[in-house]
Amino acid sequence: MFDFSILFPSLLNGLTTGAVYALIALGLTLIYGVLHIINFAHGAALMVALYAVYLLKERFGIDPYLALPLVVPGMFVLGYALQRLVINRASHGKDENILLVTLGLSIILENAALLAFKSDTRTIDTAYTLTTIAIGPAMIALPKLVAFAGALVVSGLLLWIVGKTDLGRAIRAVAKEKHGAKLMGIDVDHVYAMSFGIGLACLGAAACFLLPAYYVNPQVGSGFVLVAFTVVVLGGMGSFGGALLGGLLIGVVESLGGLYLGESLGQIGIFVIFIAVLLFRPQGLFGAKA
Amino acid sequence: MSTRRHFMSQSAVAASALAFPLVGGAQPRTIKVGVLHPVTGALAYSGQQCREGALMAIEDINKAGGIKSMGGAKFEALLGDAQSQPQAGAAEVEKMNEAGVSAVVGAYASAICLATTQTAAKYNLPHIVDVGVADQIMERGLKNTFRFGPGYRKCAEVAIANLHVLNTAAGKPARTVMIVHEESLFGTGTANLLARELPGYGYEVKEVIKHANPTRDFNNIVLRMKAVNPDIVIPANYYNEYALLVRTMQQQKVRPKAIYSVLGGAASSYKFVKEFPEAANGIIDCNHWFNPKDKRSAELKKRTEAKGLFFSYEVFMTYTSMRLLADAIERAKSADRAAIIDALEKSTFADHMMPYGATKFVNGQNTGAQPLMTQVVKNDIKVIIPREYRETDPVFPLRA
pLDDT band at A259; cut points 50, 70, 90: confident
Cβ–Cβ under 8 Å, residues B78 and B33? yes
| Cβ-defined contact of A10 to B42 (cutoff 8 Å) | no
CA B252 to chain centre: 32
In sequence order, which residues have a C-beta less than 8 Å from that of residue B355 and are 6 or more positions away? Answer: B289, B290, B291, B370, B372, B389
Question: CA A246, A248, A252, A257: dihedral to nearest 10 degrees?
Answer: 40
pLDDT(B8) > 80? no
Cβ–Cβ under 8 Å, residues A37 and A31? yes
In sequence order, which residues have a C-beta less than 8 Å from that of residue B242 and are 6 or more positions away? Answer: B235, B261, B264, B265, B266, B267, B272
- Rounded to an integer, what distance in angstroms lies between the CA atom of residue A83 and that of residue A88? 6
pLDDT at position B24 is 43
pLDDT at position B28 is 63
Chain B hits for A218, CB-CB cut-off 8 Å, are 44
Beta bridge partners of B67: B73
Cβ–Cβ under 8 Å, residues A112 and B40? no
User: Out of 3.30.450.260, 3.40.50.720, 3.40.50.300, 3.40.50.2300, which CATH number does the structure's domain B153-287+373-389 have?
Assistant: 3.40.50.2300
Q: Would you list the domain boundaries of chain A?
A: 4-118+134-280
Which of A122, A209, A252, A264 is the best mutation test for B, with the most CBs of B within 10 A?
A264
Q: What is the mean pLDDT of residues A260-281?
A: 84
pLDDT at position A63 is 95
Which of B39, B209, B253 faces A262 most closely, judged by CB atoms? Answer: B209
pLDDT(B27) > 70? no
Query: How many Cβ atoms from other residues are within 10 Å of residue A45's Cβ?
Result: 30
| Cβ-defined contact of B252 to A114 (cutoff 8 Å) | no
Nearest to B395 by CA among B246, B266, B284, B244: B284
> Which segments of chain B belong to CATH 3.40.50.2300?
30-149+293-368, 153-287+373-389
pLDDT at position B26 is 46
SS3 B124: coil
Chain A contact for B307, CB < 8 A?
no
Q: What is the mean pLDDT of residues B356-363?
A: 95
Say if strands B30-37 and B361-362 run parallel, antiparallel, or are unpaired: unpaired
Q: What percent of chain B is modeled with pLDDT above 90? A: 77
Which of residues A1 and B47 earns the better pLDDT score?
Answer: B47
Which of residues A289 and B346 earns the better pLDDT score?
Answer: B346
pLDDT digits (tens, 9 = 90+) for B92-113: 999 999 999 999 999 999 999 9
Nearest to A158 by CA among A74, A231, A72: A72
pLDDT(B20) > 50? no
pLDDT(B3) > 80? no
Cβ–Cβ under 8 Å, residues A48 and A113? yes
Instruction: Give the closest-approach CA distance of A69 to chain B in angstroms.
Output: 26
Chain A hits for B214, CB-CB cut-off 8 Å, are 223
Instruction: Give the closest-approach CA distance of B243 to chain A in angstroms.
Output: 10
Q: What is the mean pLDDT of residues B201-221?
A: 89
SS3 B261: strand
Cβ–Cβ under 8 Å, residues A87 and A100? no
pLDDT at position B243 is 87
pLDDT at position A268 is 85
Which of A263, A268, A271 is the best mutation test for B, with the most CBs of B within 10 A?
A263
Mean pLDDT, chain B, whole residue set: 90
pLDDT(B265) > 70? no
> Inter-axis angle of helices B44-63 and B295-306, to 10 degrees?
120
CA B239 to chain centre: 13
Chain B hits for A259, CB-CB cut-off 8 Å, are 220, 223-224
pLDDT band at B5; cut points 50, 70, 90: low
pLDDT digits (tens, 9 = 90+) for B124-180: 999 999 999 999 999 999 999 999 999 999 999 999 999 999 999 999 999 999 999
Chain A contact for B42, CB < 8 A?
yes
Distance from the first to the final alpha carbon of chain A = 41
Q: What is the mean pLDDT of residues A164-190?
A: 90
SS3 B323: helix
Chain A contact for B120, CB < 8 A?
no
| Cβ-defined contact of A264 to B214 (cutoff 8 Å) | no
Chain A interface, Cβ < 8 Å to B: 2-3, 5-6, 9-10, 13, 17, 114, 118-121, 123, 125, 129-130, 132, 139, 141, 214-215, 217-219, 223, 254-255, 258-259, 262-264, 266-267
Which of residues B184 and B179 earns the better pLDDT score?
Answer: B179
Which of residues A132 and B375 earns the better pLDDT score?
Answer: B375
| CATH class name, domain A4-118+134-280 | mainly alpha
CA angle at A29 for the pair A75 and A237, rounded to the nearest 5°: 170
pLDDT digits (tens, 9 = 90+) for A181-222: 999 999 999 999 999 999 999 999 999 999 988 889 888 898
- Rounded to an integer, what distance in angstroms lies between the CA atom of residue B343 and that of residue A4? 63
pLDDT(B17) > 50? no
pLDDT(B212) > 70? yes
| Cβ-defined contact of B227 to A120 (cutoff 8 Å) | no
Instruction: Give the closest-approach CA distance of B88 to chain A in angstroms.
Output: 18
Nearest to B374 by CA among B253, B274, B291: B291
SS (H, E, C) chain A: CCCHHHHHHHHHHHHHHHHHHHHHHHHHHHHHHHHCCCCCCHHHHHHHHHHHHHHHHHHHCCCCCCCHHHHHHHHHHHHHHHHHHHHHHHHCCCHHHHHHHHHHHHHHHHHHHHHHHCCCCECCCCCCCCCEEEECCEEEEHHHHHHHHHHHHHHHHHHHHHHHCHHHHHHHHHHHCHHHHHHCCCCHHHHHHHHHHHHHHHHHHHHHHHHHHCCECCCHHHHHHHHHHHHHHHHCCCCHHHHHHHHHHHHHHHHHHHHHHCCCCCCHHHHHHHHHHHHHCCCCCCCCCC
Which of B219, B270, B274 is the best mutation test for A, with the most CBs of A within 10 A?
B219
Which of residues B40 and A200 earns the better pLDDT score?
Answer: A200
Distance from the first to the final alpha carbon of chain B = 87
Which of B217, B244, B255 is the best mutation test for A, with the most CBs of A within 10 A?
B217
Chain A hits for B224, CB-CB cut-off 8 Å, are 6, 259
Nearest CA in chain A to B180: A263
pLDDT(A33) > 90? no
pLDDT(B268) > 80? yes
Chain A contact for B239, CB < 8 A?
yes
Which of A119, A123, A259 faces B40 most closely, judged by CB atoms? Answer: A119
Q: Which residues of A121-142 are buried (b: 16+ CB within 10 A; e: fewer)?
A: bbbbebeebbebeeeeebbbbb
pLDDT digits (tens, 9 = 90+) for B293-330: 999 999 999 999 999 999 999 999 999 999 999 999 99
Residue B126: asked if its preceding bond is cis (omega within 30°), the reply is no
pLDDT at position B362 is 96
Which of B223, B275, B276 faces A10 most closely, judged by CB atoms? Answer: B223
* A154-162: long-range pairs with CB below 8 Å, 24+: A154/A23, A154/A26, A154/A202, A154/A205, A155/A22, A155/A23, A155/A26, A155/A240, A155/A243, A155/A244, A158/A26, A158/A30, A158/A198, A158/A202, A158/A240, A159/A240, A159/A241, A161/A198, A162/A30, A162/A240
Query: How many Cβ atoms from other residues are within 10 Å of residue A61's Cβ?
Result: 8
Largest CA distance in chain A: 61
pLDDT at position B23 is 45
Mean pLDDT, chain A, whole residue set: 89
Nearest CA in chain B to A3: B227
Cβ–Cβ under 8 Å, residues B47 and B84? yes
Lowest mean pLDDT among A180-184, A234-238, B363-367: A234-238
| Cβ-defined contact of B240 to A215 (cutoff 8 Å) | yes
pLDDT(A98) > 90? no
| CATH architecture of structural domain B30-149+293-368 | 3-Layer(aba) Sandwich (3.40)
Burial class (CB in 10 A: 0-12, 13-18, 19+), B382: middle
pLDDT at position B393 is 94
Which of residues A93 and B233 earns the better pLDDT score?
Answer: B233
Chain A contact for B48, CB < 8 A?
yes
pLDDT at position B13 is 47
pTM, rounded to two decimals = 0.80
pLDDT band at B217; cut points 50, 70, 90: confident
| Cβ-defined contact of A215 to B183 (cutoff 8 Å) | no
SS3 B137: helix
pLDDT(B16) > 70? no
pLDDT band at A1; cut points 50, 70, 90: low
Nearest to A158 by CA among A150, A166, A168, A148: A168
Q: What is the mean pLDDT of residues A166-190?
A: 90
Chains A, B: CB contacts within 8 A come to 92
pLDDT(A49) > 60? yes
pLDDT digits (tens, 9 = 90+) for A61-73: 999 999 999 999 9
Chain A hits for B250, CB-CB cut-off 8 Å, are 130
Cβ–Cβ under 8 Å, residues B355 and B290? yes
pLDDT at position B90 is 96
Instruction: Give the closest-approach CA distance of B352 to chain A in angstroms.
Output: 28
The pair phi, psi for residue B287, each rounded to 5°, is -150, 175
Chain B hits for A217, CB-CB cut-off 8 Å, are 44-45, 240
pLDDT band at B400; cut points 50, 70, 90: low
Which of residues A177 and B196 earns the better pLDDT score?
Answer: B196
Q: What is the mean pLDDT of residues A241-255?
A: 90
SS3 B265: coil
Chain A contact for B254, CB < 8 A?
no
Beta bridge partners of B36: B80, B106
Which of A215, A255, A261 is the best mutation test for B, with the most CBs of B within 10 A?
A215
